A and B are shown apart, each in its own frame.
Chain A
Amino acid sequence: MDHPPAQSASAQPEVHHHSPPQGFIWKYVFSLDHKVIGKQYYFLSLVAVFVGMVLSWLMRMHLAWPTVAIPLLDKLSPNGAPGGVITPEYYLSLLTLHGTIMVFFVLTTAPQAGFGNFILPIQIGAEDMAFPRLNMLSFWVTFVAFCLMVTSLFVKDGPPISGWTAYAPLSAIGPAGGPGLGLGQELWAFSIATFCIGSLLGALNFIATTLDLRARGLSLMRLPLTVWGWLITAVLTLLSFAVLLTACVLLILDHVGGTSFFIPGGLVVSDQLQPHSGGSPLLWQHLFWFFGHPEVYIAILPGLGIIANILACTARRPPLGYKVITFSMLSIGFLSFVVWGHHMFLSGMSPFSALTFSVPTLIITMPAAIVSLCMICTLYGGKIRFNSFGLFAIGFVSVFVTGGLSGFFLAQPSIDTYLHATYFVVGHFHMVMAVAAIFGMFAGTYFWFPKMFGRMMNETLGKVHFWLTFVGVYAIFMPMHYIGFAANVRRYASFTDDYMIPLIPVHRFITVAALVTGGAQLIFFFNLFWSMFRGKLAPANPWGATQLEWTVPSPPPFDNFGGKHPVVYHGAYEYGVQGSTGDYVMQDSPEKIVSS
C-alpha cells in the first residue's frame, strides 16, 4: 500500500452508522465497545496497582522494622499478622501476591490491554476491534482471574508463599510444604491459568485487528510506533502465554490429580516420604521462564512504543530512526524467546547451556541500546515541551537506560554466581521492567486522558507527581543495587545473618523512600478522578499530535469515525514541518508536506 489516490476528506465513502447500545449494563458492563473495554482494563489495573503498592508498603515496613504492629492488619489476617505484626510466612505471602499482581494485572494489563484497546483501533482508523465479543470475553476472563487471586488473601492460611515464580516442588507439593501452599497455591494457579486464557484471546484480537482493519493508505511503515509495540507484544503474548497456561494446568494436576510433573521421587517433607516420583523441578523453571522472559518484554514493549510516540510529539520532530526503532523492537521480540535460560544459570541445568543462554542475552542489549539511543537523540535539535507526559517520557528513557545497564552484569554467568538472588536483581528488574513500564503508563495517561475522558488533567499536579516519582524511584531502587553488591539476599523476611545486619539502615532508607514515593501516587489518583469530572473540556487535538485518534472528538463517538472511513496520506510523525494548523501535518490530511 503506497499513496492512495488523492481525494478530499469529504469524498470518503459513507458506511453504515452503528448506534450505541442502550442501558447501563450493555453500555458500561458487558460492552462490546473497545473504548469501554480499554477503560475497564485500565481501571482494573488501577485497582490492582493500588493493592500491589499497599502490599509493597507492608513488606517494606516489615523489613525496616520487623516488630512494628501495623494497624488493622490482624483483622485481614489473624494468622498472618497476629497483633498486626507480620510473620515470616505472611511476608512471603505478601511478596508472592505483590509480584503476581504487579506483573500480571498491572504490567501486562494496562499498557497492552488498557491503552492498546482504547487507542489502537482508532489509531489504525478502525471502528472497533476485529472481534468485539472476544474482546469483551477477554476482559471478563481477566476480571475473574483477578478476583481469584485476591480471594487467596481471605482463605484460611492465606496466599501461597512460593513467590511469583512459583518454583516447584514448593508450589506443587501442597500443604505439607508450608502455609498457603494448599488452597492458596491452587487459587494462584487457577487465577494465572484463567489470566492466560484472557491474554491469549486478547492477543489474537490485537493481531487480527492490526493486520486486517487498517485504514486505506496506512501501510505497515506508516503505523505509529505505539501500534508496532502493541502488535509485537501481541505476538509474544500468543506464543508465551500458551506455554504458561500448559505449565499451570500441569501444576494444578500435581495438586488435585495425583500427578508428579514437577515433583521428583524420594522427597521427604516433615519426616514424611511423599507419594510422588519421576517429576522434574527444572521442568517448571523451563516452562515458566519460556513464558517469563518474553513476559518482561510484554511489559516493556508497549511502553517503548508509547514513549517513542510521545517523545516525537513532545520534541516536535519525527523520532530519530523510525525504521531502526521498529526493527530493533522486532529483534528484541524475536531474541526474547531464546534467552530464558539466563534465569537458570545456577539452577542445576548443564553449565554449558549457561554460556549458550548468556550470548543471546548479551546480544539483546544491542537492539535495546539502539532504541534507547534513538530515543535520547530524538530530543536533539527538537523543540521540547516539558508538560507532564513529556517529563514522564524523558524520565522513562532515564530509568530504562539505568535498569538496562545493570542487565549487563546478570547476563554473565560468572558474575551471576555472585549477584544472583541478591537485591541487585531486585533493583535491576524493578527499574527496567516495573518503573519503566509504569512511567510509560503515566506518560500514556497524561497524554491520552483528554481523548479517553474528554477533559484535561491538571498540569501542576502532574508535574509535582513527576518530580516526586522520578527522584523517589531512584531513591528506592538505586540503594538496592548497593546492598546487592554487599550480598544482601532477596526474599528474606528479616535479616538476621551477621553480614546483613549492618545493611538494615539502608533498608530503612528504602522503606521511607517507598512510603513517600507511594504517597506521591495519591496525587496522581486525585488528579485522575478530579479531572475526570472537573477538568477543563478537551479539544480534539490538545497536543498538536499527528495520529488518527486526534482527528476525532474527545472523547470519540461510539463508532470512532462517525461512520466514515479515514484515509491516510502520511507517515505517523510529520512534526517539524509547515502544516496548515501548525508545525505538523496530520496523517489523514491530504496536504503536501513542506519542511519548515
Chain B
Amino acid sequence: MGKVFAVVLTIITLVSTYFFVVRRWWMPVDISVHGPGVDRQIIETMLGTGILFVLSQLALAGFAWKFGGPGEGRKIKTFPGGASGLVIAVVVIVGIEILTLSLVGSKVWAGMYFVPAPANALHVDVQAEQFAFYFRYPGPDGEFGPIHPDKINDGNGDYFGLDPANDVSARDDIIVGTLTVPIGKPVLLTMHSKDMIHSFYVPELRIQQDIVPGLDIPIHFTATKTGKYEIVCTQLCGLGHYSMRAYIEVLPQDQFDQWLKGQSQ
C-alpha cells in the first residue's frame, strides 16, 4: 500500500507542477511600468515554492515507499540530524527565502504605493457604484467640481452628484464609462464609492485596489502598451457583482488628446 501511495503522490506532484511549468493557464501580458517587478516577484516565489513542493512531496512519497510494512527484525531509525537538524534547515532555507522575498517585494510594493504620483500625472476621478464604474476628467479648467452625495442620481445620469448650476468647476467635467488614458504617461486615479465596497482590478495592469465608501483612495500607474483591457470588480458588492465591469483603453498620446478634445465639446 505504501508503494501505491508513493506512485500516486508522485504522479499528482508531477501533473500539478507540469501545468505551471508549461504555463497552460498563466498571467496575461503585463502593460504597466511597475508590472515587470510584480511578475519577477511572482516567478521567484514560484521557483522557491515549486522546489519546496516537489522536494517535500517526493520525500513523503519516498518514505512511504521505503518504510512501509511491519519490517520484522528491522530497527526503528531516526532521521539523520533529528528534529533540531530540521529546525536549523528550515530557519536557514526558509529564512533566506523570506528575507529575499520581503526585501525585493517591499521595493516593488513601495514603488506602487509609497511614492506619490508625478506632478505631470493625468488625474482621473473614479466613482464605483452597484454594478458600474464611472470616470471623470477635470475638463479644460483642470479642476474637479465638488461631489454632493444628495445630488447623486443615476436616473438623471448624475453619477458623481455634481451641481453645475452652483459650482463653476463642475460645468466642464467630463464623465465617461471607459477609462481612456495615454500610453507612457503617469495616470493618477482617485477612487471612491457611493454605496458598497468595490474593487478595481485590471489583471494586465497588475493593479487591484478596493474602493471603499467614505474614503478617497489614490492609485497611480503608467501604461506601456496600447489596447483595450477589462476592468473587473473583485469585491463582493451585491447581486450583480459578477457583471460589474468596464474597460480601460490605452491610446497613443495624439489619439488621446484628440479624444479628450472631442469629449469636452
Contact = CB atoms under 8 A, between A and B. Distances in A.
Nearest to A362: B98
Contacts of A382: 67, 76
Contacts of A493: 241-242
A317 B75 CA distance: 10
A167 B235 contact: yes
A379 B236 contact: no
B67 A380 contact: yes
B63 A161 contact: no
A47 interface: no
Given A269-B195, A415-B45, A506 B25 contact: yes
Contacts of B106: 355, 358, 414
Contacts of A397: 60
Given A320-B78, A382-B76, A386-B1, A418 B208 contact: yes
B163 to A, nearest CB: 14
A422 to B, nearest CB: 8
B262 interface: no
A161 to B, nearest CB: 6
Interface residues of B, number: 103
B63 A380 contact: yes
A317 B74 CA distance: 12
B63 to A, nearest CB: 4
A273 B236 contact: no
Interface string A455-494: 0000000010001001100100010001101110111111
Nearest to B242: A492
B165 interface: no
Interface stretch (B109-117, B133-141, B166-174, B175-183): B109-117
A333 B104 CA distance: 28
Contacts of A412: 41, 45, 101-102, 105, 109
B121 interface: no
Which has the most chain A C-beta neighbours within 10 Å: B71, B86, B213, B243? B213
B248 interface: no
A394 interface: yes
A494 B240 CA distance: 10
Contact of A372 (B41, B56, B242): B56
A352 B114 contact: yes
Interface in B203-257: 203, 206-215, 217, 230, 232, 234-243, 245
Contacts of B94: 365-366, 369
B41 A402 contact: no
Contacts of A270: 130
Nearest to B161: A268
Interface in A277-298: 279-282
A478 B16 CA distance: 7
A89 B130 CA distance: 13
Contact of A320 (B82, B152, B240): B82
B19 interface: yes
B25 A408 contact: no
A391 B82 CA distance: 24
B49 interface: yes
B190 interface: no
Which has the most chain A C-beta neighbours within 10 Å: B9, B46, B105? B105
A199 to B, nearest CB: 25
Interface in B94-133: 94-95, 97-98, 101-102, 105-106, 108-109, 112-114, 129-130
B195 A273 contact: no
Contact of A281 (B56, B154, B212): B212
B208 A408 contact: no
A366 B95 contact: yes
A281 B28 contact: no
A366 to B, nearest CB: 5
B37 A177 contact: no
A285 B236 CA distance: 14
Interface stretch (A67-75, A140-148, A495-503, A556-564): A495-503
A267 interface: yes
Interface in B5-34: 5, 8-9, 12, 15-16, 19-20, 24-28
A374 B95 CA distance: 17
A377 interface: yes
Interface in A145-189: 161-163, 167, 169-170, 173, 177-179
A320 B63 CA distance: 14
B41 A414 contact: yes
A365 B90 CA distance: 10
B68 A384 contact: yes
B37 A268 contact: no
A374 B86 contact: yes
Contacts of B153: 271
A20 interface: no
B112 to A, nearest CB: 7
A354 B237 CA distance: 23
A496 B245 CA distance: 10
A474 B18 CA distance: 14
A257 interface: no
A256 interface: no
A92 B241 contact: yes
A13 interface: no
Given A271-B152, A315-B67, A494-B242, A482 B19 contact: yes
A205 B202 CA distance: 49
Contacts of B236: 92, 161-163, 167, 170, 491
A417 B102 contact: no
Nearest to A491: B236
B238 A384 contact: no
21 contacts: A170-B236, A266-B194, A268-B195, A324-B87, A346-B199, A346-B210, A376-B59, A381-B77, A386-B5, A394-B60, A401-B60, A408-B49, A409-B46, A414-B37, A414-B108, A417-B209, A421-B235, A474-B12, A482-B24, A497-B230, A498-B230
Q: Which 8 A-B pairs have the closest CB atoms?
A: A321-B83, A381-B77, A264-B214, A351-B113, A386-B1, A487-B203, A266-B149, A89-B239
Given A414-B105, A470-B8, 4 more contacts: A88-B243, A317-B76, A363-B98, A369-B94
